[in-house]
Amino acid sequence: MERENNSQLHEINDVQSHHCQSHETIQQPSHDRGAIQYAPKQYSLTGSNRPPPYHGGVYLHPDYMHYNPNYGQPQNAPVWSLSQPLPHVMRSEMKRGDDQDAKATDKRPNAHQEEVPMADEPPTEHPAHNADFDAEKNQPEARVSQPDERGFFNKWGEIRHRFREPLAEWLGTTVAMTLGLCAGLQTYTSQNQAGSFSSLAPAWGFAFMIAIYMAGGVSGGHLNPAITISMAVWRGFPARKCMVYVAAQIVGSISAGGIAYALYHDAIVDSALANHVTQGESPARQALLTAPKDFAHPVTAFFNEFVGTAILVGTIMALGDDTNAPPGGGMQAFILGILISVLVLALGYNSGGCFNGARDFGARLVALMAGWGGEVFREKHVWWIWGPWAADITGGLFGTFIYDLAIFTKAEGPINYPRRRRKRALLIKEKNQMVKLRY
């Protein structure tokens, strides 16, 4: 009996002690109620301030890096992008004469490496493999998704890596000009019932904004020969890539012209029948082709394109200058979309507001293939050459020149070279051109 009584007393004491502890635990938060009640509340339109559940905000499977060794690797080549600040590179003309002489006489291996690394080389870095992973690789289900020794899963992966930049430039140009041309065809074939010039301008602007977001991180999203050539002359963009980019932009504009014409073919035919004219004389001509108005003097039309492209490219250089006032991350493409809209609204009446030689040439070639006649390339004294190409390219070069002359202070700008180095730069370029012509 005593043992039973003692055991019951122990059980009662345990229950009481547990009750006291639980009571203390329950009452503990009441001491902090004042702090919680008077803590400032934050109502943010940007979402919760808590850290993301995964590193970088993106879920990453533990085995993902084994099969994708190049994911997250730092980029080993600069990108002259319209969606981020422009890179600072060393150009051969920037170096002093003694540095050039020392480099020329240096006989060590790898002494003549290029200053700007190429992005055309396949990836070579691989993570360390353990025994379990090596055993897993030999399983049949793992062989299907294994990359080769260079990190490629198949032949197309290797081709895409080698031509990634021109493919991105082609895709971005195709998307931008397809949207812009379709907006123009919708406006003019509907006799302004499905749009107007005021709605056409932002359509072009936001079309290029979308394309820059799409291709900006890979090729830079130039989408315009005037921008690419200005980058090569004033910012050290490799000259060997310049013509490749321009060719990709032209092919993209041809693709866009074909897509837009195919989608709006019925509307073009209906508009031509309604106006009792051929397709080449229908209102769709204003959507596909740019040309100065009949009242506009050729000099006026030329400088209309010249000034518009100068403002466009000069602003691009300002947005890419990290020492000026670069916008926040991801905002450059949005600002450029607004800029293009404003340029079309302000300078689009006299000459059509092209500001892009590829945009005019691709649609013009599609019109020729559609049977509109060779007049599309002969009108206005061959406008397509001295307008969208000559005026826009020279305007882009001039716009960057003015920005560098007034604001830009970095060494990669040729205008900031000392006089002796400017002469040396011209001699080096002439020598390189002679070597290219020789071979």
Report DSSP letters for 200-213, one per residue: HHHHHHHHHHHHHH
Q: Any idea of the CA torsion for 193, 197, 202, 204, to the nearest 10 degrees?
A: 100
Residues 149 and 137: their CA atoms lie apart, in Å, by 13
Confidence of residue 145 (pLDDT cuts 50, 70, 90): very low
Compute the Cα dihedral for 374, 377, 379, 381 and give only its sign: negative
In the chain, the percentage of residues whose pLDDT exceeds 70 is 68
pTM of the complete model: 0.74
pLDDT for res 406: 95
What phi and psi values does residue 359 have, to the nearest 5 degrees? -60, -40
Q: Where are the domains of the chain?
A: 166-429
Report pLDDT for 90.
77
pLDDT of 6 = 54
pLDDT in tens, 121-130: 455 444 455 5
What pLDDT score does 147 carry?
53
Average pLDDT over residues 89-104: 59
Q: How confident is the model at residue 425 (pLDDT cuts 50, 70, 90)?
A: low
- CATH superfamily for 166-429 is Glycerol uptake facilitator protein. (1.20.1080.10)
Tens-place pLDDT, residues 363-403? 999 999 999 999 999 999 999 999 999 999 999 999 999 99
User: What is the model's pLDDT at position 36?
Assistant: 44
Higher-confidence position of 281 and 46 = 281
Looking at 59-63, 133-137, 316-320, which range is the least confident one?
133-137
> For the segment 211-222, what is each residue's pLDDT rounded down to a tens digit?
999 999 999 999
Contact, 272 vs 281, CB < 8 A?
yes
pLDDT at 3 > cutoff 70:
no
Pick 227 or 86 by higher pLDDT.
227
